[in-house]
């Protein structure tokens, strides 16, 4: 059977088909009771393994082709999660923008791990009209919480352990709120935390030819199945993780 014409390059479709295969190609609530979302970890790194400059300022690591892939990946997930340090350093929008035709609404839900509610009231995520961020934290209610809620953020209070917020509780809350697929975009601490907790089913890693050094990304773990495609000057590896 001829595959459907997507208008994207075949190598990109192969990566997307692998990702969607793991997601079960479904967005929207799953039927199992209290399911945890399926988790995809995705990041871009230099050939020397850096995901940001040493001082935390962003590195432009993805070429135009792999940037489009990132936005297709975002569109395939119900929610996108980052750590608070990424919000503080990069002020991301976490929306789907770089596609030739806009995806049908709703946009994926932005979510942030932020134990102490350091979320800046002027962050671009709070200025989005379509989707206000969900913020996972462990603070008692108070002024900071009130200010963020007034700006439209939805706050989820979860337990905190030595490594940060309890990721199982975070995933449970997301599942209960109707999220069945989660893309974790970074930064390094959050990616490593999901990986070492064993909560991720798959990874998509873009490697640029740049040899710049800086803040190291996670080590790519042993992959059960994998696929690597050349993307312009970048290469993209998809793989599944041990259950």
Q: State the nearest-atom distance from the C-beta of 173 to ligand NAP, in Å.
A: 13
In the complex with ligand NAP, which residue's Cβ is closer, 30 or 81? 81
For residue 212, the SS3 value is coil
Q: State the nearest-atom distance from the C-beta of 136 to ligand NAP, in Å.
A: 7
Q: State the nearest-atom distance from the C-beta of 8 to ligand NAP, in Å.
A: 21
Residue 87 contacts residue 112 (beta carbons within 8 Å): yes
In the complex with ligand NAP, which residue's Cβ is closer, 29 or 173? 173
In the complex with ligand NAP, which residue's Cβ is closer, 118 or 128? 118
Cα distance between residue 10 and residue 21, in whole Å: 16
Burial tier of 177 (Cβ tally within 10 Å: 0-12, 13-18, 19+): middle
Cα distance between residue 51 and residue 124, in whole Å: 21
Interface segment toward ligand NAP; rule CB under 6 A; list 22-30, 33-41, 54-62, 226-234: 54-62
By CB under 6 A, residue 22 contacts ligand NAP: no
- Select from 135, 167, 184, 236 the one that contacts ligand NAP (CB under 6 A): 167
In the complex with ligand NAP, which residue's Cβ is closer, 30 or 125? 125
**Positions in 77-136 near ligand NAP (CB under 6 A):** 82-86, 89-90, 113-116, 118
Q: State the nearest-atom distance from the C-beta of 59 to ligand NAP, in Å.
A: 7
In the complex with ligand NAP, which residue's Cβ is closer, 61 or 126? 61
DSSP-H helix ranges across 28-133:
64-75, 84-90, 124-127
By CB under 6 A, residue 163 contacts ligand NAP: yes
**Positions in 183-242 near ligand NAP (CB under 6 A):** 185-190, 193, 215
Strands (E) across the chain are located at 38-46, 50-52, 79-83, 109-113, 134-137, 154-157, 160-161, 164-165, 181-186, 202-208, 215-216, 226-231, 234-240
Q: State the nearest-atom distance from the C-beta of 89 to ligand NAP, in Å.
A: 4
CA atoms within 13 A of residue 62's CA, in its CB half-sphere = 16
Which is nearest to 189 in space by CA: 48, 41, 73, 72?
41
CA atoms within 13 A of residue 74's CA, in its CB half-sphere = 28
For residue 111, the SS3 value is strand
Q: State the nearest-atom distance from the C-beta of 235 to ligand NAP, in Å.
A: 15
In the complex with ligand NAP, which residue's Cβ is closer, 12 or 90? 90
DSSP 8-state code for residue 146: H
What is the binding site for ligand NAP (CB under 6 A)? Answer: 43-44, 51-52, 56, 58, 61, 82-86, 89-90, 113-116, 118, 163-165, 167, 185-190, 193, 215
């Amino acid at each position: 059977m001829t595959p459907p014409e997507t208008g994207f390059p075949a190598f990109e479709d192969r990566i997307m088909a692998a990702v969607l295969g793991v997601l079960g190609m479904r967005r929207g609530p799953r039927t199992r009771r209290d399911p945890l979302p399926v988790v995809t970890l995705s990041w871009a790194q230099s050939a020397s393994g850096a995901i940001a400059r040493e001082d935390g300022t962003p590195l432009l690591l993805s070429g135009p082709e792999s940037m489009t892939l990132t936005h297709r990946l975002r569109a395939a997930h119900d929610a996108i999660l980052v750590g608070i340090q990424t919000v503080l350093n990069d002020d991301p929008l976490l929306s789907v923008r770089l596609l030739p035709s806009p995806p049908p609404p709703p946009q994926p839900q932005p979510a942030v791990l932020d134990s102490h509610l350091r979320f800046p009231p002027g962050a671009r995520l709070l200025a989005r009209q379509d989707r206000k961020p969900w913020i996972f934290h462990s603070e008692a209610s108070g002024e900071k919480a009130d200010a963020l809620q007034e700006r439209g953020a939805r706050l989820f209070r979860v337990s905190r352990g030595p490594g940060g917020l309890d990721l199982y509780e975070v995933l449970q809350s997301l599942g209960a709120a109707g999220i069945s697929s989660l893309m974790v975009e970074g930064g390094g601490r959050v990616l490593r935390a999901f990986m070492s907790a064993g909560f991720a089913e798959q990874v998509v890693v873009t490697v640029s030819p740049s040899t710049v050094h800086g803040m190291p990304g996670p080590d790519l773990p042993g992959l059960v199945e994998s696929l690597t495609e050349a993307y312009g000057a970048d290469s993209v590896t998809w793989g599944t993780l041990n259950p």
